Structure 1
Amino acid sequence: MKIILFYHSLLSDWNHGNAHFLRGVVTELLERGNEVVVYEPQNNWSLSNLLKDHGEQGLADFSAYYPLLKTSFYDPATINLEAVLAGADLVIVHEWNEHALVKAIGELRTKKDFRLLFHDTHHRAVTERSSMAQYDLSHYDGVLAFGNVIRDIYLQEGWAQKAWTWHEAADTRIFHPLVEKAYEGDLVWVGNWGDDERTKELFEFLINPVKELGLKATIYGVRYPDHALKALADAGITYGGWLPNYKAPEVFAKYRFTVHVPRRPYVEALPGIPTIRPFEALACGIPLISAPWEDAEGLFTPGEDFLVANNGEEMKTQMQQLLTDHDLVRRQTVHGLQTIQDRHTCAHRVDQLYAICQELQVGNLAAEQTTILTMDERP
């Protein structure tokens, strides 16, 4: 298949979590013999911030970790969509695109013989519903939504005629267990501060327990305001700044455990959507403790894949367990890793995408290889 993708950024994961999943899916599609072209706007927000903070060095290792991946930049004011989409079998447009571009690609769908999908990986369908309702999807063949709640909104609101749940997953070419000779600390957390969507939760489930237990901890991420940096220093937590996502497995291997602190919109309005961080942590075989969220879609087995702490006191207790109970650590690590390998890799998601393509009669899929390779079978 010839697949054209319009996304915010393939190159930059600076406060842009969708890049994690996009990289894994594109790599999988390429390795299955597809022609894939990714378009991202020139001077996009994520890449501009990455270059501002780290210069070209921020991109220095990208090709070493993703040798198959390339991006194509475009100017929204001058892009020739007729030429770009010539010969395409499948076009996917991510929700972090301008309304005008989304509409223009949809209008071309009426003149060309490709199938067109809209991909939503954010909570804006709930938190910014009026903005999302302004996307003209009338000529789209359907929506890929990263959770049932989002999928149902598109159908109930009449924004789309068809919608499928397409969860994010771990890119196990990058995210897999690494062996470290000795730990450098107890806890590591990789996540951005964001827009105060989980400030209270970060204190209750991360900063305060670390401080009270006197753990050796490091936090990586961006957009940390001064008061947050002060709180980390007061808790004795090392702040590591931006961490390229593809280096997270190397960091996970140096610490005993990590935690998941979901943002409030996902906890309150989007049950069943954990975001990509737990998938990646479990794929690396690092023990995980999660703050509360409802696994409404049965993605995991809470208590076996990871521990769940309902409040700060439970978080402290479970942190101490992971530091001392080696049998618990082993069982949880094995179970969580197996869950990822059995159900939640980018290969699984591409299989799901192929099934959707077959339903929509996209191109000639008869000769496509849809077998999910195990980690041992991968090159």
Structure 2
Amino acid sequence: MLPRACPCTLLWLVLLVTGTAGCQRPAEQRFEFSPHASSRSGLVALEDSVVVGTETGALLRLDRTGRPGWRLKFAQEIASRPVRSGNTVIAGTTGGELVRLETKTAQERWRVTGEPPILTDLVADEASVYVLDSEGAVRAHALDTGQVRWRRPAPKRETPPSQPSLRLPPPVLAEGTLVVAQGDSGLVAFATEDGTPRWRRPMAQVLGLAREAETLYVTTRTGRVAALNALDGTLRWEKQPASLLTSPPTVALGKVWVGAEPTQLLALSPSTGETLSSTDLPAPLVTRLAIWGERLLIPTSGPQGQLLVLNEREMTPLFSLQADTPLRTEPVLLGDQLFVVGLDGRVLSWTLREPKP
């Protein structure tokens, strides 16, 4: 039998009402900010603030009190998470714009237009920002000028994709290698310097990728979790811990964490893929979770928007926070201050306190 948490649906309902499990006021709300538009971009953490985009094309920087430091307006939605690079942030829109801005002043360094819609989260290294479009085409823009360094076209398809609505997950960087998921065409790795293909592996309906050292972890909607060598694509192990997975993998605290249906959080061994534990959730996990010390911060995508706080060692619930909007993007921590953005676009923040024995 797998280690399994006690039936916790009722327990989470109790925590939702009380807000605590054996401690007083484990979290204090700092602010709630509404841009008056929904959001699916997720948050970008800066030193003392966060950046968020909205469906109306607004890009905002919010400080720790929830006050906007600056606000820009683009013609189209910012649907993907921007990426930070030093003291700048790079954002893309569904209208094909790509812009690099100073984080403090929002002063524009460069702007690229006329490209395909940007729906997948951006990634960057010291030389380039990498863009994966909705068809699977990849391009690298020089970080200093925005000029295209190289392009690779979308894979040719003889038949329509089996999951046309499945959003492609963000690429992953590993020592000069860019690994992307191209829908039914599987995984492809490119050299970051010039876009030369390095390896390919068939793997359809990929939900997400995560890297630790040279190991790449991959989850698929069809319930598969695989560990590959990120540099050459060699398969290290592959398991099917559930018939349906719901989230990209998170590698933390010596385990690989994935969401599954029925609504559960699974903990897998990074070295073997063995399922170490399963914990019931009140609603699906569809994004990465965050780590607060040795505690798991689990955003859930149900209408109540619960963020669950679990003790990792015993997998016991500590307390629950409620956003009243689905949480579908990764939480952000700045020290002991937690930030989340809901589907309705509201950014909420709490100060977390260490639970007392």
* TM tier relative to shorter chain: under 0.3
Scaled by the length of structure 2, what TM-score is found?
0.26
